[in-house]
Amino acid sequence: MGYYDEHTQLRLGRKRKFPTTFVSSLAAACIGSAVTLAVVSPNSLENKISDTKSQADVPAMTNSIETVSMNFETQITKAIEKASGAVVGVINIQNNRMLQPDQEAGTGSGVIYKKEDGKAYVVTNSHVVNGASKIEISLEDGKRVSGKLLGEDIYMDLAVIEIDAAEVKHVATFASSDNIKLGEPVLAIGNPLGLEFSGSVTQGIISGLDRSIPVDYNQDGSADWEADVLQTDAAINPGNSGGALVNANGDVIGINSMKINQTSVEGIGFSIPISIAIPIIESLEVHGKVIRPYLGVATRSLADVASYHWQHTFKLPSDVTEGVFIEQVGPNSPAAKAGLQELDVIVKLDGEKIESMVQLRKYLYQKKKVGDTISISYYRNGELTETKMTLESIPGES
């Protein structure tokens, strides 16, 4: 397969005469798919070439060559054809200085998921449009149209942009990400390294399911959230963010979001599962934000303070080493109405163990909604207590 030793080279240098049938079989094996580029009739060669004639005397054989067209359409090419037209470029334009022209601050990818009433809607990552004063969308033919940011959510790293639908020809189809299997083939479609490589496609598999990746949004060294993502080895590079992760049918099953950026790491990229993304996308499109319930407390994880305080400050039993303690209770908040106080240590929500602030936030944001009742188990002065509260929206967001 491209590697030869001395003996092989010597053998290749000898001229050997093979039967016509053997040569034909060998050629067919090399082609594999039985696609023939040229067919030469042996009989016509016998009639036209004499043993006594030199090679220069051989007449032209134009009439004995047949051109055969090739069709390389596969399931993968069909999937690309179906999905690629809906994947667009998202240009973040900023103006950070007065009296200076606008400048492109960065380029990412996006997916057109809806076309309705003369408008089209693009989903991308929140970090792609972060800080933008203007947004432009580069369509599949390279034409740019102005985009309007309807809303973004940093926790899910999603944003929705509205554009005029006049030039939009393709809309992506979403498929459930709940039944994805490990090893399932996928394609990543986007614009790695900018619009010069727009519409690039990489192929891989689903490398991991239900991955939780800690994310530090305010760069204070502590995780603010754990992103639930799909892991893939399909190449995801800068500029792919917000693009589509597509299954073999050409349906979008994820929004590409991040990769592990270390020189020692290859082939580890992450995508937001579409089943998790859909309710966030819908809320951003309609409300411009995600309306989430809140407790009305400022909290920290027990792991953030010295273990000395666990028994001496919070009066916890020695076997309680995980949970979330309350630093402050907001006035007239659901927590205040339920009787929670500073230094209470929350250990369960609805009977489910809570080990950290991130876990509390995820449970609240992903499993509860405004108006729901929630049961809270907490320690106060060493005693386990339970209370219930009705969840409300953050003031000003309802």
What confidence score (pLDDT) does residue 260 get?
65
What confidence score (pLDDT) does residue 71 get?
61
Backbone angles phi, psi at 190, to 5 degrees: 180, -160
3-state SS assignment for residue 334: helix
In degrees, rounded to 5, the angle at the alpha carbon of residue 232 between the alpha carbons of residues 231 and 233 is: 140
Residue 292 · residue 156 · CB < 8 Å: no
CA 23 remoteness from chain centre: 48
What confidence score (pLDDT) does residue 348 get?
97
What confidence score (pLDDT) does residue 237 get?
83
| E strand or H helix at 336 | helix 334-337
Q: Count other C-beta atoms under 10 Å from residue 22's C-beta.
A: 9
What confidence score (pLDDT) does residue 370 get?
93
Q: Where in the chain is the domain with CATH 2.40.10.120?
A: 74-286
What confidence score (pLDDT) does residue 389 get?
94
Residues forming the active site: 127, 157, 241
What confidence score (pLDDT) does residue 101 get?
78
Q: Where in the chain is the domain with CATH 2.30.42.10?
A: 293-393
Instruction: Give dist(CA 145, CA 123) in Å, integer.
Output: 15
Closest-CA residue to 109 (of 267, 254, 243): 243
Angstrom distances, CA of residue 94 to CA of 105, 106, 127: 6, 9, 14
Per-residue model confidence as pLDDT tens for the chain (398 residues): 433 233 333 333 334 443 443 333 333 333 333 333 333 344 443 444 344 444 445 455 455 666 655 565 688 999 999 999 999 999 999 987 766 778 888 899 999 999 999 999 999 999 999 999 999 999 998 999 999 999 999 999 999 999 999 999 999 999 999 999 999 999 999 988 777 777 889 999 999 998 888 888 777 777 778 888 999 999 888 888 999 999 999 999 999 997 666 656 667 899 999 999 999 999 999 999 999 999 999 999 999 999 999 999 999 999 999 999 999 999 999 999 999 999 999 999 999 999 999 899 999 988 999 999 999 999 999 999 999 999 998 876 65
Residue 290 · residue 153 · CB < 8 Å: yes
Q: Span 293-393: which CATH code?
A: 2.30.42.10
In degrees, rounded to 5, the angle at the alpha carbon of residue 95 between the alpha carbons of residues 89 and 101 is: 95
The answer regarding whether domain 74-286 maps to CATH 2.40.10.120 reads: yes
